[in-house]
Structure 1
Amino acid sequence: MATKHTLTSEDWIKAAFRALTAGGAHAIRAEAIARDLKVSKGSFYWHFKDVPDLKAQMLAHWALEATDTIIAEIEASEEPADVRLRLLVHAATDDRSLPYGGLLTDGAVREWARFDPLAAETLKAVDQRRIGYVADLLQRSGFSASGSRSGANALYGALIGLEALAASGLADLRGDLIRLLEALLHNREGV
């Protein structure tokens, strides 16, 4: 059995997200996650005060890694805004969510937010940040202020829906998002 020093808090957070994705918020339990990680429950308390502390750290980690880190990565490029939008679609659809539960991770957070005030508050802030960033890139690509917001809502809404469809094998997440983005960019003059 691994010791409490073997695992990091990030290992626990990833395992907690896998539990969330597989079984919902009620599956985020120290004992069950410890079993999944093949460690004692004592290892959990080395990193977290209690399960609410784990949940709060999960949400902060998700906001950072699934939003702020990606935006910083895209902004570090010196590409024009339309190329940054394409880079953003690639980053949003790459394999970085696999250790957290894959394509269904964001959807699991959305479901969790229906019943948990902190998750709802975090989700709303993340959605606003993501939509605002896409709208900014669209505006820098030549869209009007109102057109950039509508385009951002359409692209982000498509991401949310296509993640669920792709998880069921009914959509090509990256391909469909790129095609939608290209259609938006092609019609930017009218928006």
Structure 2
Amino acid sequence: MAEDDLPGNIKVTRADWLRTAMELLVSDGVQSVKVQTIGTRLGVSRSSFYWYFQSRQDLLDQLLAEWERTNTGVMIAHAALPAPTITAALNNFFRCVVDPEGFNHQLDFAVREWARRDARVRGVIDRSDTARQQALARMFARHGYDPAEADIRARVLYYQQIGYYALELSETVEERLSRVEGYLYCFTGVVPSKEEVEDFKRYARGVAGGHTRPI
């Protein structure tokens, strides 16, 4: 049955259930991701839940898969974007973390907190961390770094980025952007062109809109 054909109060979609479940995961933790709570927020009965999910565990499994598809997927996709230089490639990666519609660091840490209670989720996170690091290592390797150096630079870049989120630093966009040239040099060992730096700054200012997302 198509979603448009659903009767009465079952007009709420699977995406609505997942979105609300994610909001609860981020704000209150996995223990608060309950069918009744989500249904109340959506203004529908529990019965509509079963059009899309077999059980709460099924919802949690799909929620975890959605996190992996989006957060891990967006990092890997940006690391794979074509670029004429390694510094331009790194700017491509940075775009996914400054864009409010890109990498969701609050969701990422909510899933990591969830993993403290669930070894299976811990395994998914380990797999995602490895995939992200390997994507960054491939990015460096495409620009001439030998495999060992590419691996180390990828780890330094990834751990630094995740560390920014863990520290919950509150810096303005302009404070972050003032360090972009230095970051590009430190991560790559290559001095970026002025055009690359200015191009990234224009992009970041355009999508950030005053937000303080880590760069």
TM-score interval, normalised by the smaller of the two chains: 0.7 to 0.9
Q: Is the 8 A contact 2:76 2:136 kept in 1?
A: no
Q: Is the 8 A contact 1:93 1:174 kept in 2?
A: no
Deviation at 1:43, TM superposition (A): 2.0
Aligned to 1:95, the other structure's residue is in SS state: coil
Matched with 1:127 is 129
Aligned to 1:169, the other structure's residue is in SS state: coil
Percent identical pairs in the alignment equals 28
User: 1-side partners of 2:163 and 2:186: how far apart?
Assistant: 18
Matched with 1:153 is 155
Q: 1:24 to 1:78 in 2, by over 3 A?
A: same
User: 2-side partners of 1:16 and 1:169: how far apart?
Assistant: 27
Q: Is the 8 A contact 2:78 2:92 kept in 1?
A: no
Per-residue CA deviation, residues 102-155 of structure 1 (Å, 9 max, x unaligned), is 531101111111211231121111111100000110122232222211111111
TM-score by length of 2: 0.72
Matched length: 181
Q: 1:93 aligned to 2:98? A: yes
Matched with 1:9 is 14
Within 5 Å, give how 1:1-191 maps onto structure 2. Answer: 3-4=9-10, 6-72=11-77, 75=80, 77-80=81-84, 82=86, 83-96=88-101, 102-166=104-168, 169-170=170-171, 175=177, 179-186=182-189
Deviation at 1:29, TM superposition (A): 0.7
Matched with 2:213 is none
Q: Is the 8 A contact 2:133 2:154 kept in 1?
A: yes
My pick for the range that moved more, 79-88 or 7-16, is 79-88
More helix by share: 1
Q: Is the 8 A contact 2:79 2:139 kept in 1?
A: no
Q: 1:74 to 1:28 in 2, by over 3 A?
A: same
Deviation at 1:19, TM superposition (A): 0.6
Q: Is the 8 A contact 2:20 2:38 kept in 1?
A: yes
TM-score by length of 1: 0.80
User: 2-side partners of 1:187 and 1:79: how far apart?
Assistant: 14
Aligned to 1:79, the other structure's residue is in SS state: coil
Q: 1:78 to 1:140 in 2, by over 3 A?
A: closer
Q: 1:181 to 1:41 in 2, by over 3 A?
A: farther
Structure 1 vs Structure 2 CA RMSD = 2.7
